[in-house]
Amino acid sequence: MGFDLRFGWTGPIGGVTLGATRSEGGTRRVSYRIGGGSTLPFLDSNSSFSSPLIAFEICDNPVFWPPIVRNYCGDLVNNVEDWAKTADSTYGADMIRLYLTSTRQRNFSDIPAVGKAVEAVLSATSLPLIIEGSNEPKIDSEVFQRCGEVAQGERLLLGTAEANRYRSIAAAALAYNHSLIAQSPIDVNLAKQLNILLREIGVLRDHIVIDPYTGTLGYGFEYSYSAMERIRFSALKGDTDLAMPMICSPADTLTIKEVREAESAVQDEMAATWEFYTGLAAAVAGAEIICVRHPETVGKLRLAFTSMKNGTGSAQVR
Amino acid sequence: MALKALDIYKLLPKKNCKECGDPTCLTFAMKLAGGKADVDLCPYLDDQAKAVLGATTRPPIRRVRIGVGERSFEIGEEFVLYRHEKTFFHQPGILFEVSDTQSPDEITSITKRVKDESFTRVGTDLMFSGIAVRNRSNATDSFAAAVGIVENVADLPLVLISANTAALSAALVHCGTYRPLIHAATKGNFKEMCALAKQHGCPLVIKAHQLDELAQLAKDCSAEGVQDFVMDLSPASLYEFIASSTGIRQLAITRTAPDLGYPVYLDATAGGMQDAWIALGIVKYASVIVTAPLSRASAKAALTLRQNVYTDPQKPIQMNPGLYRVGTPGKDAPVLMTVNFSLTFFTLEGYLESARIPCFMLIVDTEGLSVLTAVAAGKLNETLVLDAIRRFDVENEVSHKKLIIPGYAAPLSGRIEEATGWKVMVGPRDAAEIGDFLNEEWKR
Ligand code: B12
Ligand code: SF4
């Protein structure tokens, strides 16, 4: 006697390609195809299914970065190239996410520097990249344009489009064939709405990664967890406007009280553990890119994802 | 197998008298089929029909209590696959493991830790749930002795882990009346295990590696007269756990496999990936999680994840609006306004306490939304603030008319001043800076 587990799903999650190898017109040593799932996360019977990607976040002006990472990484944080290289070869990330925090200075206008930072990271690592542009509508257009241009052919993931701020980033993504992150505040309907807006101005479904916004563990994570589950559920039930892969970036994790106030001897462990619990739970809810800032989180997640892959034991549920 | 609405309908009196609250017997039957009504609502059902229907309309996952007294906990009685469909009701017990090969001192100190350690978040004390004692020695005496030590230290819920029925029997002499969970009945030993569980009235873990074997074992053990089961699939990988636990939950709540309608047991001690097992256990339907004692970091993260996932998604944890005191504030003490989302309240209160400046907290009813969320949703406004000042008689509590508002509520400052006639001071955004702010801006 066996049990037949049926959920009645109708539609798969759409795929998105990140990065481009030489044969694909870029210079990356790998490219990833995320999405494609046809049931709940980690239950796909196809054992070739890839694990969630682990993206390590760095920035080009560390003033805006959590002190705990600055302490742990030391001098590296002052040099995006070395930092990106280390994230690739030592921390073992799948992707690098560069935040252009330098643009957050008042009246920032050094657009060429933006291009240089992106180029520097492109040459420091051959992993696919996520580039997080400006935070300031006034310079969005120029910043995204420049990022898109210097990385033409590399299939970047550009961040971050929001309901009231998506045109500049979409324009750059369209012009240079990059994908983009669409962020909405923890709500399945808002996520859908933004995807429709993007589609209306020409962004294709297979160029969108949904960011449902991750509240950190203990500070709103339960809402994000459920928003992700709902998005995945709606997608599997056939809503193509939500059938995109998701990204989880629990950016506030390293500044919460539990981490900030931990005794210094256990602070790194606290940070990595907090990121790990958040990232793992988000992956189970449907996120396919998990962003982290503490180097020690990368290996912990990697180990778990390996054991979460089908084929690591005899499957019992179809 | 679950009964279909039509099968149920055949068993009903067909009076269409509406006394059950439904317009017809058929609609009542449909509700019963969906587990959304109770058979007792129909006064005309005969006993035989009740017996048939009762079995299919009981909660799809049996409720099981582990331990007795204050620290005992209930598991099971869950209805959904996703917490947003309703909520998850009974959070998993997380138990620290000790072994009978450890020294009495070690066993004592781990037990004490579970008894005393608590971590307060959002006004709730989060604690681990009990102790699992493993018969690693395989000897009878040392197992009983270890259980005796634990019992002497604290009245905590226990799991007794042994394949040796003699050892279990000896241990149950110490704790048999306290409803420990016995681990585990298998195909090979279920008769003896059931006899022990029955004799002491204890819940029993049943263990098999395949879902159909487990269902069979549940049937066999029920036939022996035991009802309270917890199921262990001893998954070999995290993948196997997710797959089998999700399978069990789905098959049970849809009543496709009523014999799998019991809570799930998870051994998180295996394989050096404790955090991963625990996190997955919490989100993917485990009800009893046994782990080696956790580091402070893992302990906090695990308890926080459990708290998050098991809060009701329909209602954020809220405070009653009102005027709260920090320390013993005098008439000239500052008044700080904030929202009635518990997390916000307790975060702010924590920083105010460590700042050691007696003050008042004026809690406004934002329906449980945080400051930023409430501002974004228009749930925090000048009318509410005025209303709170009046309702809680703030004008008579203090001799000034200055109100400190959260930094994130700055856009409302003008309107609050206008509506209330109070002078508004915009505080910092981050509550961590409240001490410095009060020292600099208030004490001047
Ligand atoms: C969880 C969450 C939700 C939950 C609700 C949680 C709740 N109970 O409030 C849900 C999913 C329901 C939600 C809904 C919405 N949300 Co929301 N949500 C969040 C999230 C992730 C965390 C909020 C939280 O719990 N914060 C923790 C508490 C403790 O923070 P706090 O109350 O602000 O308190 C701090 C300070 O204000 C200060 N403080 C507090 N009181 C006082 C008092 C004084 C005197 C002082 C000095 C300081 C002080 O101390 C605290 C610690 O520093 C935030 C993102 C974020 N990082 O804040 C977004 C966020 C607040 N949400 C946002 C939005 C837009 C919304 C929605 C309008 C959109 C939607 N989804 O429909 C709705 C509106 C609500 C509604 N009507 O349904 C935006 C707000 C944008 C803006 N800047 O205005 C945010 C910032 C997300 C984003 N980046 O887009 N949200
Ligand atoms: S109370 Fe019983 S007999 Fe009357 S309508 Fe309801 S199900 Fe039918």
d(CA B310, CA B121): 14
Q: Do B246 and A303 touch (CB under 8 A)?
A: no
Q: Which fold has domain A17-33+44-310?
A: TIM Barrel (3.20.20)
Residue A249 vs residues A55, A262, A290, B183: alpha-carbon distances, Å: 9, 22, 6, 40
CATH number of B322-441: 3.40.50.11600
pTM above 0.95, yes or no: no
For ligand 1, say whether the CB of B376 is within 6 Å of any of its atoms: yes
Alpha carbon of B2 to ligand 2 centroid (Å): 21
Q: At B414, phi and psi to the nearest 5?
A: -60, -45
Q: Among candidates B191, B151, B189, which has minimal Cα distance to B170? A: B151
Domain assignments of chain A as residue spans, ordered by start: 17-33+44-310
Q: Which 3 state secondary structure label does DSSP give A210?
A: strand
- Over residues A116-160, the pLDDT tens digits come to 999 999 999 999 999 999 888 899 999 999 999 999 999 999 989
Q: Which residues from chain A sit within 8 angstroms of residue B432, using beta carbons? A: 257, 260
Token representation of residue B238: 């995290």
Can you give the residue ranges of every domain in chain B? 5-57, 64-309, 322-441
Cα–Cα distance, A204 to B301 (Å, whole number) = 38
Class assignment of domain B5-57?
mainly alpha
| CA nearest neighbour of A114 among A88, A86, A85, A149 | A149
Question: Which ligand sits closest to the CA of A214?
Answer: 1
Please name which of A272, A218, A282, A302 lies closest in space to residue A69, comparing C-alpha atoms. Answer: A272
Set of chain A residues whose Cβ sits within 8 Å of the Cβ of B294: none
Cβ(B358)–Cβ(B326) under 8 Å? yes
ipTM of the complex: 0.92
Which H/E stretch holds residue A179? strand A179-183
Give distance in angstroms: CA of B53 to centre of ligand 2: 14
CA B18 to ligand 2: nearest atom: 5
Contacts of B89 (CB under 8 A, 6+ apart): B77, B78, B79, B310
Q: How far apart are CA B279 and CA B282, in angstroms?
A: 5
CB-side neighbour CA atoms (13 Å) of B297: 21
- The four Cα atoms B292, B298, B301, B305 give a dihedral, to 10 degrees, of -30
Amino acid residing at A93:
A
Distance in Å, CA A294 to ligand 1 centroid: 25
User: Could you tell me the maximum CA-CA distance found in chain A, to the nearest angstrom?
Assistant: 69
Token reading at B252: 């049970």
Please report how the helices B413-420 and B382-391 are oriented relative to each other, as an axis angle in degrees rounded to 10: 40
In a structure prediction context, what are the per-residue pLDDT tens digits for chain B, which is 444 residues long? 456 788 888 889 999 998 888 899 999 888 887 767 777 788 888 877 776 776 666 788 999 999 999 999 999 989 889 999 888 999 999 999 999 999 999 999 999 999 999 998 888 899 999 999 999 999 999 999 999 999 999 999 999 999 999 999 999 988 888 999 999 999 999 999 999 999 999 999 999 999 999 999 999 999 898 989 999 999 999 999 999 999 999 999 888 888 999 999 999 997 679 999 999 999 999 999 999 999 999 999 999 999 999 998 888 888 889 999 999 999 999 999 999 998 899 889 989 988 899 999 999 999 999 999 999 999 999 999 999 999 999 999 999 999 999 999 999 999 999 999 999 999 999 888 999 999 998 876
Of B210, B295, B305, the CB nearest to A316: B210
Rounded distance between C-alpha atoms, residue A43 and residue A38, angstroms: 9
Report the candidate in B217, B219, B181 with the shortest Cα–Cα distance to residue B201: B181
Count CB pairs under 8 A between chains A and B.
160
- CATH match of B64-309 with 3.30.360.10: no
User: Which residues of B are less than 8 Å from A266 in CB distance?
Assistant: 295-297
Structure tokens of B10? 């055949």
Identity of the residue in A42, A270, A280 whose CB atom sits nearest the CB atom of B297: A270
Q: A244: which strand partners?
A: none
- Side-chain-side CA neighbours of B251 within 13 Å: the count stands at 24
Q: Residue A226 in contact with residue B82, Cβ under 8 Å? A: yes
